[in-house]
């Protein structure tokens, strides 16, 4: 083990202890029902201080530093060229468009499939088994899922046997094998399929639990009023699970905005498949354009922020209603 590895292990242990101390201190403070004195608040501050210091050093300072670097060139001079590059260069614009396509498709399709699946298997025989089948992909890392799907999209030139499932099907029907991951724009759609495959199980589990929380009396009352299954779904079930729908949709949206592993593993952003997170890494660590990478990171933060704010507002309104 090198010195760097040893220091990294020590840092992880120290951070873990700091977080543990913060959690323990907060729990003790909340559980203790006795009137709080000034000394109690100082004790709580002592428990939280190590974690807050690590938070400031590991998150707050890098965020501020990234924001500063976004407006600097390689020489450290202040400039807006990083943002001009982002919105004028064809490759950068294509990266932004790809990210928008990802966010437009993945949350909608994943949530829709997860909701439909949860409705169809609700209270059916073998419900637990059906849930496990759809939930399994979420237990796989993004890199692992990418490796699996890479075999599905595999292409072999010449007359060699196609081991990729997709090309094997194409050849079986008399077609010619296709280099799926190099064919624009279908390659981006095929990468999106991987993300949908992973996130659908997450959507299904949360929405299934929400559906079971809808009062059966409301459904029975709607049924007595002569409504059909679709009307009961739209007028009773959907309003009853609206909060869960928002949480699922926004959570998947944030995960999609930050997607990196799938693109990096499958194409490394080549063939017009790059997204903001991947391009941020490429510019900062491959092309040594730290300013451009920081600008992309700042744009990514700006894209995520409205979703987070909307999610918080919806949850707050629901809490006020209750």
- Residue 76 domain-assigned? no
The pLDDT assigned to 98 comes to 94
Do 59 and 96 share a domain, yes or no?
A: no
Do 46 and 136 share a domain, yes or no?
A: no
Q: Is the pTM of this model over 0.85?
A: no
The pLDDT assigned to 1 comes to 55
The pLDDT assigned to 27 comes to 60
Nearest residue to 263 (alpha-carbon basis) of 200, 316, 190, 161: 190
Do 56 and 115 share a domain, yes or no?
A: no
Do 233 and 291 share a domain, yes or no?
A: yes
- Residue 242 domain-assigned? yes
Do 167 and 236 share a domain, yes or no?
A: yes
Do 43 and 164 share a domain, yes or no?
A: no
Do 169 and 301 share a domain, yes or no?
A: yes
Do 283 and 194 share a domain, yes or no?
A: yes
Domain of residue 12, residue span: 3-69
The pLDDT assigned to 147 comes to 92
Number of domains within the chain: 2
Do 35 and 85 share a domain, yes or no?
A: no
Do 170 and 47 share a domain, yes or no?
A: no
- Residue 74 domain-assigned? no
- Residue 43 domain-assigned? yes
The pLDDT assigned to 314 comes to 76
Do 62 and 139 share a domain, yes or no?
A: no
Which parts of the chain register pLDDT below 70? 1-41, 43-44, 47, 320-322
The pLDDT assigned to 229 comes to 84
The pLDDT assigned to 126 comes to 81
pLDDT in tens, 43-79: 667 767 777 777 777 777 888 888 888 898 888 888 8
The pLDDT assigned to 26 comes to 58
CA angle in degrees (0–180, nearest 5) for 208-116-201: 60
Do 106 and 181 share a domain, yes or no?
A: yes
The pLDDT assigned to 39 comes to 66
């Amino acid at each position: 083990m090198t010195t760097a590895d040893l220091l990294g292990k020590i840092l992880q242990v120290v951070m873990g202890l700091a977080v543990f101390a913060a959690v323990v201190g907060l729990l003790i403070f909340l559980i203790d029902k006795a009137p709080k004195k000034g000394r109690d608040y100082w004790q709580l501050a002592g428990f939280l201080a190590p974690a807050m210091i690590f938070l400031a050093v590991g998150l707050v300072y890098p965020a501020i530093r990234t924001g500063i670097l976004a407006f600097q060139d390689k020489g450290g001079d202040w400039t807006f060229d990083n943002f001009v590059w982002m919105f004028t260069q064809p490759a950068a614009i294509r990266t932004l468009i790809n990210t928008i396509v990802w966010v437009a498709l993945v949350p909608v399709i994943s949530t829709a499939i997860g909701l439909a699946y949860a409705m169809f298997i609700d209270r059916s025989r073998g419900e637990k088994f059906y849930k496990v089948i759809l939930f399994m992909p979420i237990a796989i890392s993004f890199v692992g899922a990418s490796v699996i799907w890479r075999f599905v999209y595999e292409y072999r030139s010449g007359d060699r046997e196609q081991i990729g499932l997709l090309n094997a099907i194409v050849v079986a029907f008399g077609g010619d094998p296709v280099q799926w991951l190099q064919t624009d724009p279908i390659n981006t759609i095929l990468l999106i399929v991987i993300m949908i495959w992973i996130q659908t199980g997450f959507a299904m589990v949360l929405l299934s639990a929400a559906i079971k929380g809808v009062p059966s009396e409301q459904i029975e009352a709607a049924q007595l009023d002569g409504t059909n299954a679709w009307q009961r779904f739209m007028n009773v079930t959907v309003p009853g699970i609206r909060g869960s729908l928002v949480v699922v949709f926004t959570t998947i949206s944030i995960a999609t905005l930050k997607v990196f592993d799938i693109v990096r593993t499958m194409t490394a952003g080549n063939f017009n498949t790059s997204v903001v997170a991947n391009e941020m890494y490429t510019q900062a660590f491959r092309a040594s354009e730290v300013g451009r990478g920081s600008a992309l990171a700042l744009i990514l933060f700006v894209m995520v922020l409205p979703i987070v704010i909307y999610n918080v507002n919806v949850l707050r309104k629901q809490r006020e209603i209750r």
